[in-house]
Amino acid sequence: MSLRLTHSLQLVANCVASSDVKSLTILLANSPPAQLLNSLKGQLDSSDISFTVIATGPIIEDVAEGSQPYRIAVEGDGSGSGSGSGSEILGIGREEALRVMTECLSLEVAAGKVVRLSGVNEDENEEGMAPREYLKMLRSEGYSRGEEVGDLISGGMEKFAADRAAKIAEKEKVSEP
């Protein structure tokens, strides 16, 4: 972790702590290390500020908001969503990253959390289809973007993927002779 980055984040934490700021969302791109995220969370936990720290992979230009499937995993919750601390965080469109960041400012479920926001590579395996299907389902049910982000932070996609896998396994079991 660069000393310059650590110093910059310490300055932000100190300035915010000594001001009237009530809510803070920080977006860190290019797959920041867990050590940096834990340090920043520790500094912000000791303040009265409602905060969310979002770690993402590279920011991708020219990707329309809402067109790219993505995942959100809470750091340290063991959700295994493909974007947790042990996995590579894939790139995300600039507009999508900014939308998630903005929504986190007002979401109670995001308060005090470090989350990993990752695009999904649908070409690698069939599991990648679950995020696109899940997001389409939420949007068709009339979820606002804020509700969508909150649901993802709460683990809704992981439950959907587990239910989907169980249904597939059940169909395969039934079709066996």
Walk me through the domains of the chain, giving residue ranges and CATH numbers: 3-175 (3.40.50)
The H-or-E segment that residue 41 falls in is helix 34-45
* 3-state SS assignment for residue 139: helix
- Residue 118 backbone dihedrals phi, psi, to 5 degrees: -135, 135
As a whole number, mean pLDDT of residues 17-36 equals 85
pLDDT band at 5 (very low <50, low <70, confident <90, very high): low
pLDDT of 150 > 90? The answer is yes
Contact of 121 with 133, CB cutoff 8 Å: no
Q: pLDDT tens-digit profile of 29-58?
A: 999 988 888 888 888 888 888 899 999 999
Q: Give the end-to-end CA distance of the chain in Å, rounded to a whole number.
A: 56
Please state the pTM of the whole predicted model: 0.82
